[in-house]
Amino acid sequence: MSSIELTSARNVLGGPLRACSYAPLTGFFRDGCCRTRKDDPGLHVVCARMTPDFLAFSAARGNDLVTPRPEWRFSGLVPGDRWCLCAQRWLDACEAGVAPPVVLEATHEQALDVIPLELLLRHASSPPAQPPDG
């Protein structure tokens, strides 16, 4: 996965927001980035690597991310895929013990409106290149 900076948006570490995934193509805007705007009711800002436990958790709550939906040009997710999740859904999964690993550099800073940075750091898919300012 390339770490191309596409926008002036910032990530949860205070650096430039990196792309989350182009294959599958993710994001509220389907541009590969976990960006948002006011008409995104789910706040799709957490870039996470899918796990079997999280995918089952999401399906059990009415959001089946596995089943292909060709009418939406969605091929379905498999474990290992990176995807922009709703901040509250990720937090709910965390509280249930099934939070998928977070890609900090590709998680939009607005995730911090819902999720404490300490929690994201504990669930990072890899340690940050530089510790966050604080």
Closest CA to 77 of 97, 106, 48, 101: 48
pTM above 0.85, yes or no: yes
Distance, CA of 44 to CA of 125 (rounded, Å): 18
Radius of gyration of the chain (CA): 14
Structure-block tokens of residue 29: 């805007």
pLDDT digits (tens, 9 = 90+) for 22-68: 999 999 999 999 999 999 988 999 999 999 999 999 999 999 999 99
- Strand 82-86 to strand 44-49: parallel, antiparallel, or no bridges (unpaired)? antiparallel
pLDDT digits (tens, 9 = 90+) for 102-111: 999 999 999 9
Other Cβ atoms within 10 Å of 93 Cβ, number: 22
